[in-house]
């Protein structure tokens, strides 16, 4: 197979509601869609599609300068195999062993997903057959997320989750203790005291914030706090500073921004900081790296969940669902918000989760999506040839 062209489509799909947390306030999907065109072994054109979701507060900036130039040069580095005749195994190795920097991991996700999609289409198989892997589960149960909202809007969204039968929620918290206390109380009032809750500070806390908020969280019976402080240098963990005060008794800290690679999981195990990890394809470089990180966590006896970035289109909803079905022991799954959040999508399929957060895995259809190029064109803010 020979890849002959690569195009980028920078999207702007409005959300149905504002999505805010401590690091950002989002009103639309800003995904970057990669279209790879290749010639198969018979000389016929085949197309594969991938998606990147860049969050600078997670994986860092691509650099200073014009965004179009930065994206072109970054994708060019990640596509060194263009115009080469490569076998399926060689293409898989090219993305599996790519030396992408941490800031390029979101873009590598798009490259890898597009290559997997290409290979599925060329070989007329689904992702499970392509990789020689079997799904551990055939139905995925998704949880919900409560962004930072005004009380009336939060109550409305919580009522929607309750009526839909969602069985676990992640609450976005900020540094304002009164807001945090009130939203946790409101959630428990609507969803019930025994409802499965975890909280996410999105790297927005100081040590003082943690000292103020953790007793309230513990008293509410919540056992998981995601990313309170953000990515830190080795040996400088503020989580470790909390332990002597006994504030972390009964709590598990989950890494998100602090878990970009498998090396981060090994470091956390050595330093005894994070006991759980939010593994996201868009953040960690795609499906193959996500599966590898899940295996690393299991090997070290650590917990993890299969997550997503807000605003993902049906491409990453489908790829994330496949990953969640293959992973051995994800405790939670987040994703497939699709038309629950987006005002439209670029896939022909609606990959939104249904009642109870349930969604079936997709068999016999590649990675599980077909792109509607007319919709893609309508939501494209800018197009770039790589």
**% of residues, the chain, pLDDT over 90:** 77
Query: Is 242 part of any domain?
Result: yes
Q: Are residues 191 and 339 in the same domain?
A: yes
Query: Is 243 part of any domain?
Result: yes
pLDDT tens-digit map of 287-297: 999 999 999 99
Residues 6+ apart with CB under 8 A from 258: 227, 230, 231, 232, 264, 268, 274
pLDDT given at position 139: 97
Query: Is 112 part of any domain?
Result: yes
pLDDT given at position 256: 94
With 0-12 CB in 10 A as exposed, 13-18 as middle and 19+ as buried, what is 385?
exposed
Q: Are residues 152 and 273 in the same domain?
A: yes
Q: Which domain holds residue 83?
A: 2-124+373-385
Q: Are residues 330 and 379 in the same domain?
A: no
pLDDT tens-digit map of 117-155: 999 999 999 999 999 999 999 999 999 999 999 999 999
Count of the separate structural domains present in the chain: 2
Query: Is 251 part of any domain?
Result: yes
Residues of the chain where predicted confidence (pLDDT) is lower than 50: 246
- Whether pTM > 0.75 for this model: the answer is yes
Here the CATH number for the domain that contains residue 351 is 3.20.20.120
Q: Residue 38, SS3?
A: strand
Q: Are residues 167 and 356 in contact, defined by beta-carbon separation less than 8 angstroms?
A: yes
Q: Are residues 209 and 356 in the same domain?
A: yes
């Amino acid at each position: 197979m020979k890849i002959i062209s690569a195009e980028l489509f920078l999207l702007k799909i409005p959300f149905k509601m504002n999505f805010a947390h401590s690091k950002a306030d989002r009103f639309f999907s800003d995904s970057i869609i990669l279209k790879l065109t290749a010639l198969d072994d018979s000389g016929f054109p085949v197309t594969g599609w991938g998606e990147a979701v860049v969050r600078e507060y997670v994986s860092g900036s691509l650099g200073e300068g014009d965004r179009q130039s930065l994206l072109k040069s970054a994708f060019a580095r990640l596509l060194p195999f263009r115009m080469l005749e490569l076998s399926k195994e060689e293409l898989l190795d090219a993305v599996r062993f790519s030396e992408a920097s941490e800031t390029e991991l979101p873009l590598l996700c798009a490259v890898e997903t597009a290559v997997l999609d290409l290979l599925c289409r060329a070989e007329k198989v689904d992702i499970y057959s392509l990789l020689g892997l079997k799904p551990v589960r055939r139905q995925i149960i998704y949880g919900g997320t409560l962004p930072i909202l005004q009380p009336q809007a939060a109550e409305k969204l919580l009522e929607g989750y309750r009526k839909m039968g969602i069985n676990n929620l992640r609450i976005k918290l900020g540094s304002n203790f009164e807001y945090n206390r009130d939203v946790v109380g409101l959630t428990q009032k609507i969803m019930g005291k025994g409802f499965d809750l975890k909280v996410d500070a999105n790297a927005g806390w100081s040590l003082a914030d943690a000292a103020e908020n953790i007793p309230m969280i513990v008293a509410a019976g919540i056992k998981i706090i995601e990313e309170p402080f953000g990515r830190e240098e080795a040996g400088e963990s503020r989580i470790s500073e909390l332990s002597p005060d006994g504030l972390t008794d009964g709590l598990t800290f989950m890494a998100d921004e602090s878990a970009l690679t498998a090396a981060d999981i090994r470091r956390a195990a050595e330093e005894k900081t994070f006991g759980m990890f939010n593994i996201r394809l868009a953040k960690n470089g795609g499906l193959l790296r996500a599966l590898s990180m899940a295996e690393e966590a299991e090997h070290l006896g650590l917990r993890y969940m299969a997550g997503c970035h807000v605003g993902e289109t049906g491409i990453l909803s489908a790829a994330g669902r496949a990953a969640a079905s293959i992973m051995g022991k994800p405790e939670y799954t987040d994703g497939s918000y699709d038309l629950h959040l987006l005002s439209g999508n670029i896939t022909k399929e609606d990959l939104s989760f249904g009642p109870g957060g349930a969604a079936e895995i997709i068999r016999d259809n590649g990675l599980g999506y077909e792109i509607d190029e007319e919709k893609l064109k309508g939501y494209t803010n800018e197009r770039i040839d790589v």
